[in-house]
Structure formats: structure tokens, C-alpha cells
Structure 1
Amino acid sequence: MTEPDRSLRDEVLAGLAARPRRLHCKLFYDLEGSRLFEEICAQPEYYLTRSEIDILTRHGDDIAGALGENVTLVELGSGSSTKTRLLLDALDAPAAYVPVDISAEFLDESAASLRAAYPRLRIVPVAADFTAAMPAVDELDVPAERVVTFFSGSSIGNFEPSAASELMAAAAEIGGADGRLLIAADLRKEGHVLEAAYDDAAGITAAFNLNILARLNRDLAADFDVDGFHHRAVWNADASRIEMHIVSRRPQRVRLGDAALDFGEGEVIVSEHCYKYTVDGFAEMGRSVGLDREALWLDADGRYSLHLFRQAP
């Protein structure tokens, strides 16, 4: 077993030993998980992608004007970069694009597609876990005079509030004192709308969630019976978050390396929290770590937001 695999195994075992049991949401994004997430984005219940596309389409010129010309765009958790193309098309002579993603295979596919679409744009993909360390732009041979960090998809909601605010501060610092953070945040809305978005009728989100177990079988030689678990998504209004669970269908024992893990019927593994915000609450979260909001854009329905922050002077 390689050192990265040992580190992953230890992290997974620590999470599964906790109560409630937990798995980090970064485990979603192997090659198969990344592809499943692209399918999720196309589901009718998953409004988040359509809402963000609406903002980038209707407000693209305003956003580009706020960011300025000759921008180096650094995208965290870039995925397929599909929505980013709308932003790149709107920007005035972007200097470079740096997609950062944890799935190296998926990143290579996306970068190849982008290079074909934007042959004159410098594209420097970075395969990395940005939650562990942010990319250093000055080490990437890209213009660093005006850097904007883009964090789309309301992925900031996957982090607990204290960790989310710290991540925002670190992301804003990528571009130095004059850098900007362009970040999407999903807003609070009816519980049934939220639960449907994270438990689509086609079962794509369920497959995405359970793929974590399949990945542990592939990468760490675990023996999860994937069919012995099911997906669940519930809205916790008090905490303002969707909670994604992997639920054991029956009493069962799972082996992972030398460890034996006993699950009871109905026992839960928490795989993800997706926090939802208010416009003012998200701005306050930025202020708590020294970020001032310069601009705000909403989708046509007012249920999704895009914020531009800079470090306070």
C-alpha cells in the first residue's frame, strides 16, 4: 500500500470510528464520482446548476466588468468546467485559467476539451486537494497581477461554517492583497425543494453517494456490500443544511484492512452536509474573516447567489 493510500485508509477509519460515522465528501470525486456528479447537474430536480448558469448568462457582462481585464482565473473544484466557459467567454482577454480538481483523470479530460475550445488561452490544470493546501499561483508560470479565485456550485456549503469561512479566507489570499474571490452560495428555500434536489427520481444522487463505498472497495480493498446500504437526504431546518446519509439496510460486518466494522440496521454514515444561506448571512461570514463584499448577483428566482469578495484594507 502506498503512503497516500495509507493516509486515506487512516482518515477513513477515523471517520468510521466516530459517532455518528462520517466519510469526507472529497471521497465522492474519483473518476466515476466526478462523472456521476455531471449527471446530477442535468437532473430536473437539481436547480443549482441551472440557477448558476442563469446568473452567468444574464449578468456575464456585469461580472466581467467587476473582475476587469487580463484576469488569471483560478477555479477550485473545477469538474468539467462547463459553467466556467460562460465566464471565460464574458471576460475581457483573460490571461490564464487554472482549474484545480482532486480527480486527476477527470481534470485531464476537462483540460484537453478546454484547450481545444480556447487555443489561445493559457490553461494550467492542477490536480490537488485544495482543502489541504491552496495552489500557489506564483509557482505556476501564469500572470499573477490580477487573480480571481472562482468557487462555483455552492460547494462552500459542503463545509461546516467555521471551516467554510476559513476556506473563503484562504481562497481569497491566492491572489494576494489585490485578489478577488468569486463564490456561489445556495440560499435557503422550501425543504421539499431541497430534498428533491439531493434525492432525484432517477437515482443519480443515490448512485453518487453509494459510489463512495464502491471506491473504498476499489482503492482500499474494503468489502462493503454496496447493495446493503441506501441513500438518504434530509433537510435540517434548524441547522440550515441538507444532510446526506448512507444507511445500513441490515446488521452487517465490513472489513477494511485489519479493521472489522459492525453496522446495525438503520445505522448512518454521514457523507455530506450542504449548508444553505441567506444573502446577508453569507456576507457576514465573509466579514468574519476580513472579506468585504464588492458585488452580488442573484438568479431570476432569487434562490441562488454569486458574491464577489476582496480582502478588507
Structure 2
Amino acid sequence: MLDRPRASNPDLLEAALQGLAATPKRMSPKWFYDDAGSALFEVITELPEYYPTRTEAGILRDRAGDLAGYAEAGAALVELGSGASVKTRILLDALPQLASYVPLDISAEFLAQAANDLAADYPRLAVTPIVADFMAPIALPEPLAATQKLLFFPGSTIGNLERSEAGDLLARLRDWPNVSAFVLGVDLVKDTGRLIAAYDDAAGVTAAFNMNLLARLNREALADFDRDAFRHEARWNADESRIEMHLVSRRNQTVRLGGQSFGFSKGESLHTECSHKYTVDGLRKLAADAGWSVAETWTDAEDLFAVAILTPDDGGRPG
């Protein structure tokens, strides 16, 4: 008797079984980021509709030198969800006193390539990539625990988390030893049309990014999604101040996964991502509840995006 094929990614399979059984159906956005998804996201960051990346990069280019007071000689820059580490280079160029760079990302191959590129371009730095899900506890390698750390979480990735999840993450990071400051990028509440366009671009790249999740489920979890039977949709949820991405079923259908069947009615969606937008006051409250103070807030001329500098409540600015 032949063995039944097994999913190559049992964690993805388990997450999908739970998500498709939920009401409404949902998946965590962390599953976007296989190698194909990570590459597609880097294309998204260059799209004309997608303002967050270039706006945040502009803020950092203007203000990164002001971070010098938060990083002593020999300090480490620790980046969560590092991706291609494009904005990282702005900080590394502005802060020559940094001795090491520690990127954390869930996509192992993509992380390794980005880390290798940075190590080649910044030979003075000790580059130590860590494959990790920042939503889970992370054990810091020695001697990083004893090193002063400047944390970096750009791209408004914190907006992908539910408010409670964002608070929990900030609280866990607050417990890390020897953190001088936390550089946090957040997307701000703004015109709905501009927000929708950023997540539903005319070229269809964001749609491809969203649909890639179905390809990954088929490949790694042995699902049988018909990708042509779903479409990408971006929605603004005013009550929650967030953009939502959905994969909407074009017809009544049944999807099989892990020996189970899941029905989709026409118009029913698989909710794949939330991107919460913040006000400055809302960010201050979120930070305070997790044990941080907002020492500085940098914004662009149009108030599209903010980079906040958080410090531990009982630590303050070093020096």
C-alpha cells in the first residue's frame, strides 16, 4: 500500500486547517513570505501607489543621524522582519559606531541572501542573521544579550498585527536586556482612496502577492485551491482603522486540505491581512501600555507616515 503524500510544511498545514475552520476564514500574513512572496513584496515597495516605503525611507534619510545619541560605540542594530534590509543601510551609514547587525526574518533563504549582501558591503560589521518568527519568544544569542541594542522595526509591519498582538510584541521586546531605543515605523490614518490604492495597485502586483498564498498552500500543504476561482480585494474597515486584504471566492466551491473539506460560498473570503493605521496619540497609548515612552516622532511633510523613537519607561535616553 502506497503511503499518502505528506505536506512539506506541517506548520503551514496546521495554520491553514485552523484558519479555514474559523469564522470568518483567515490566515496570518506571515505566510505570505516564502521566497516568491518576499520577492513580490520588494516589487510592491517600488510601486507608485505604495507610498509607505519611499516615505519612511525619506524620513530616515533626513533624521537617521539623530539616532547617534541612542547607540553607543559597539552597539548592535537588531531588525525585526528585515526583508531586503533596504532601509537598514540608511541607519548603518548614519551610525558608524554600530559594531553588529542582527536581522530577524521568517524567510530563511531570503534572509541569508540579504545578510550576505550586507556583510559584503559593510565588512566592519558582524552580521548575525536569525531565522525567527518575531511573534514568538526569541532567545538572543550570546553575547548579544549583554550588548546595547537599538531595535528597528520599519515598514509599518506592526500594523499587520491585531492591537492586542502589537501590545504583546512591544511588551516582550521591552523585556529584552540593554535596549537603548526602538525605532518603529507606523502608517498613519489618511484619505481612504489613497489607502485602498496602496493595497490594490493598477499593475496587479499586490493581487499577485495575495494570490501567491494559495500557490504556497497548494505546494507546501497539499491543498487544491483553484487560483482562478478567487480574486484579490482590498477593503477599508473604518471601525478598526485598518486596510484588510481578502481572497474572495468567485463561486460556490469546496477546497480540500489535510484530508478535510472546506466550503466557500460565492463572495465569501479568506481574510489574509490587516494593516492597521495609527494616529500619533494612539501610538503613544499603545507604547505606554507596553512599558515604552515615545521620545520622538518624525513625520513627512504630508503626515502620511511616522517613525517613532521609543525608549524604555525607566531607561530614557542614554547618556
TM-score by length of 1: 0.95
Select 1:163's aligned residue among 150, 165, 173: 165
Aligned partners of 1:34, 1:26: CA distance in 2, in Å? 10
Counterpart for residue 29 of structure 1: 33
Alignment of 1:291-306 (within 5 A): 291-306=292-307
Alignment of 1:103-182 (within 5 A): 103-134=107-138, 136-137=139-140, 139-142=141-144, 144-174=146-176, 176-182=177-183
Question: Alignment partner of 1:166: what SS?
Answer: helix
CA displacement at 1:64 relative to structure 2: 2.9
**For the structure 1 residues 283 and 67, does the alpha-carbon distance in structure 2 shift closer, same or farther, using more than 3 Å as the test?**
farther
Q: After the TM superposition, which of the residue ranges 63-72 and 39-48 deviates more from structure 2? A: 63-72
Q: Which amino acid aligns with 2:62?
A: R
- Identify unmatched segments of 5+ residues in structure 1: none
CA displacement at 1:191 relative to structure 2: 0.3
CA displacement at 1:172 relative to structure 2: 3.1
Counterpart for residue 317 of structure 2: none
Counterpart for residue 245 of structure 1: 246
Aligned partners of 2:278, 2:303: CA distance in 1, in Å? 12
**For the structure 1 residues 49 and 102, does the alpha-carbon distance in structure 2 shift closer, same or farther, using more than 3 Å as the test?**
same
Aligned partners of 1:133, 1:212: CA distance in 2, in Å? 25
Select 2:49's aligned residue among 38, 45, 49: 45
Q: What is the CA RMSD across the aligned residues, in angstroms?
A: 1.7
CA displacement at 1:177 relative to structure 2: 5.0
CA displacement at 1:10 relative to structure 2: 1.8
Counterpart for residue 80 of structure 1: 84
Aligned partners of 2:101, 2:49: CA distance in 1, in Å? 30
Q: Deviations over 1:237-275 (max 9, x none)?
A: 221000111101111111112011111111111101110
The share of aligned pairs that are identical, in percent, is 48
Paired residue total: 310
Q: Which amino acid aligns with 2:161?
A: F
CA displacement at 1:63 relative to structure 2: 2.4
Aligned partners of 1:266, 1:2: CA distance in 2, in Å? 31
Question: Alignment partner of 2:223: what SS?
Answer: coil
Counterpart for residue 236 of structure 1: 237
Alignment of 1:268-283 (within 5 A): 268-283=269-284
Q: Which amino acid aligns with 1:302?
A: D
Question: Alignment partner of 1:80: what SS?
Answer: coil
Counterpart for residue 195 of structure 2: 194
- Identify unmatched segments of 5+ residues in structure 2: 315-319
Alignment of 1:46-65 (within 5 A): 46-65=50-69
Q: Which amino acid aligns with 1:145?
A: T
Counterpart for residue 311 of structure 1: 312
Aligned partners of 1:178, 1:84: CA distance in 2, in Å? 18
Are residues 1:98 and 2:102 paired?
A: yes
